[in-house]
Amino acid sequence: MCRASARSAGSLAGLLALLTLAGCSGGSYPMDTLSTGSDYARTIHSVYVMVNWIDLVILLVVIALMFMAIFWFSTRVGEPGEPSLVSSDLRLEVAWTAIPALILVFIAVPTVRAIWRTQPDKWPVKALTVKVVAHQWWWEFQYPKLGIDTADEVHFPVGREIHFELRSADIIHSFWIPAMGGKRDVIPGQVNELTFTPHETGEFYGQCVEFCGTSHANMRFRAFVDTKDGFDRWVKQQQSPPVMPTSGPAAAGAPIFANAPCAICHTVKGISGFSKQYSGKFTGPDLTHFGSRSTLAGGILSNTPRNLAMFIQDPDKVKPGARMPTLGLQGKDLNDLVAYLESLK
């Protein structure tokens, strides 16, 4: 082997080793598509792993053949041993058509089976149904049987089949929790469905994955897979109305919420004065238990009083294109409103 070839082979091996190590660094990536948090994700992952092994074998065979060709036929033009030119070889052409076709068939069988398994004709009737409504740019999650309506954070119990009904309030979006499996488009005028059984408890990231305007990248959400008891506790808490604050900044913030344009788009259930009159026309997230959420503004900021104040002061800066108007609240009014919203648990 000449020195230059040895050097390039060495660099190639180094690059491969680096890529392999990068894949094994064991870091925690919230959008990791290699997680297998549900049966759906495992089905996809098994096809992915199989295809990768096949690809690796093909890659090694091709590289080996390439090096064999380079070194065995390294004779220069005109030197003795120069191979004769071949214009066509039927056996070779049949072979390099048939072998890839067979490989594709071999990959297609488990792939098609996985597609059928993750898109069944009959959707489960015993599953926990979560209605998802995609909005520019936030996610609404409704649990029709439990009477819960929340935003940007979805909870479900581990080990139970979850059935999502996906609708859009405006344009095309796409629903994706990478750790739980594949994505599914959310299309206006039709209901798409997705079902899986989560196997791991924890907090997982979700994201809209269909370009849907200025704040597409800010249309995120969190999925919490709870233990059964944890989920029951969450349900109970979501079903009970928040306690109306009677003193301090939170109490002072309640009328600000009711009188500012907030209540035109947002609802706080169970608190007299602004729950029914706008029913059915809310264009913003239900804020009934806002204080219990870990994020705000479509899952892009942690839910802290400071971040909330920043969002209320200039929604467009936090989330470009946001429909929430700038209210012009400052100082005490802003702090009181923030305290009120954070008290909604």
173 vs 269 by CB, closer to ligand CUA:
173
Token pair 């191979």: residue: 83
The distance of closest approach from Cβ of residue 283 to ligand CUA in the complex, given in angstroms and rounded to an integer, is 15
- Taking the least distance from each CB to ligand CUA, the nearer of 174 and 288 is 174
Residues 64 to 123 in contact with ligand CUA, rule: CB under 6 A:
none
The β-bridge relationship of strands 162-168 and 192-196 is: antiparallel
| Contacts (CB under 6 A) with ligand CUA, residues 159-178 | 173
Question: Nearest distance from residue 101's CB to ligand CUA, in Å?
Answer: 38
Helix (H) or strand (E) holding 302: strand 301-302
Binds ligand CUA (CB under 6 A): choice among 158, 208, 254, 308: 208
DSSP state, residue 274: S
Assigned token pair, 199: 């196997």
Cα distance between residue 312 and residue 341, in whole Å: 11
Residue 282, number of CB atoms within 10 A of its CB: 16
The amino acid occupying position 82 is: E
**Residue 216 in the binding site for ligand CUA (CB under 6 A):** yes
Residue 33 or 304: the one with the smaller Cβ distance to ligand CUA is 33
219 near ligand CUA, rule: CB under 6 A: yes
What count of other Cβ atoms lies within 10 Å of the Cβ of residue 222? 19
Q: Residues 204, 208, 214, 217: is their CA dihedral positive or negative?
A: positive
Residue 312 C-alpha from the chain's centroid: 26
Residues in the chain: 345
Q: Looking at beta carbons only, is 138 or 257 nearer to ligand CUA? A: 138
**In this chain, which of 140, 152, 153, 210 binds ligand CUA, going by CB under 6 A?**
210
Query: Residue 67 or 211: which CB sits closer to ligand CUA?
Result: 211
Task: State yes or no: residue 323 binds ligand CUA (CB under 6 A).
Answer: no
Tokens of 334: 């802003």
Token pair of 123, please? 């959707």
Nearest distance from C-beta of residue 217 to ligand CUA, angstroms: 8
User: Looking only at residues 127 through 156 of this chain, which bind ligand CUA when binding is defined by CB under 6 A?
Assistant: 134, 137
DSSP designation for 247: S
Closer of 173 and 289 to ligand CUA (Cβ): 173
The identity of residue 60, as a single letter, is: L
**Residue 137 or 340: which CB sits closer to ligand CUA?**
137
Kindly state the greatest CA–CA separation across the chain: 100
212 interacts with ligand CUA by CB under 6 A: yes
Does residue 342 belong to the site contacting ligand CUA (CB under 6 A)? no
Query: Which stretches of the chain bind ligand CUA, using CB under 6 A?
Result: 134, 137, 173, 208, 210-212, 216, 219
